[in-house]
């Protein structure tokens, strides 16, 4: 517990380094992927996605939906391979999109994609 706050302390590795991220499609087998939701696998870098900040690689299969959700804090999405689309438009490899706290959206990964997702606070799906 964090002294005086009653919340668990977040333990982060001292250094996280990911190399050749824009070539991730060529070496995605180097990561330990886990089931996240229908059509989506996850490789967590830190955080649990439930409390506090979280960073993860998300691998969307072709036509995988991005279910409706609200951002409790800032969400940073960097497309490493492929593309995603939502009401704001399509984002492709090399594009960073930042959603502000309180925003909501739904989308799809029509051709599939791998993204680096960094969340300031947990995302709430509805």
The 10s digit of each residue's pLDDT in 33-51 is 999 999 999 999 999 988 8
Note down the domain range covering 115.
Answer: 34-125
Domain membership of residue 1 (yes or no) is no
Quick count: other Cβ atoms within 10 Å of Cβ 67? Answer: 14
Res 5 pLDDT > 80: no
- What is residue 3's predicted lDDT score, i.e. its pLDDT? 43
Q: How far apart are CA 82 and CA 122, in angstroms?
A: 24
Q: How many domains does the chain have?
A: 1
- What is residue 6's predicted lDDT score, i.e. its pLDDT? 59
Domain membership of residue 61 (yes or no) is yes
Q: Which residues pair with 81 in a beta bridge?
A: 114
Q: What is the band of 66 on the pLDDT scale with cuts at 50, 70, 90?
A: confident
Domain membership of residue 88 (yes or no) is yes
- Report the predicted TM-score, pTM, of the whole model to 2 decimal places: 0.86
12 or 91: whose pLDDT is higher? 91
CATH number of the domain that residue 50 is part of: 2.60.120.10
Q: Which residues pair with 54 in a beta bridge?
A: 119
Domain membership of residue 12 (yes or no) is no
| Burial of residue 16, with CB atoms counted within 10 A of its CB: 0-12 exposed, 13-18 middle, 19 or more buried | exposed
- What is residue 22's predicted lDDT score, i.e. its pLDDT? 95
Dihedral over alpha carbons 114, 45, 47, 37 (to 10 degrees): 30
């Amino acid at each position: 517990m964090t002294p005086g706050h009653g919340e668990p302390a977040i333990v982060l590795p001292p250094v996280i380094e990911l190399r050749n991220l824009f070539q991730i499609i060529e070496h995605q087998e180097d990561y330990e992927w886990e089931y996240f939701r229908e059509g989506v696998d996850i490789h967590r870098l830190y955080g649990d996605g439930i409390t506090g900040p979280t960073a993860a690689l998300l691998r969307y299969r072709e036509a995988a939906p991005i279910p409706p959700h609200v951002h409790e804090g800032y969400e940073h999405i960097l497309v490493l391979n492929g593309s995603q689309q939502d009401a704001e438009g399509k984002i492709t490899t090399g594009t960073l999109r930042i959603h502000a706290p309180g925003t909501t959206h739904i989308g799809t990964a029509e051709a599939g994609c791998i993204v680096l997702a960094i969340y300031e606070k947990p995302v709430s799906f509805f």
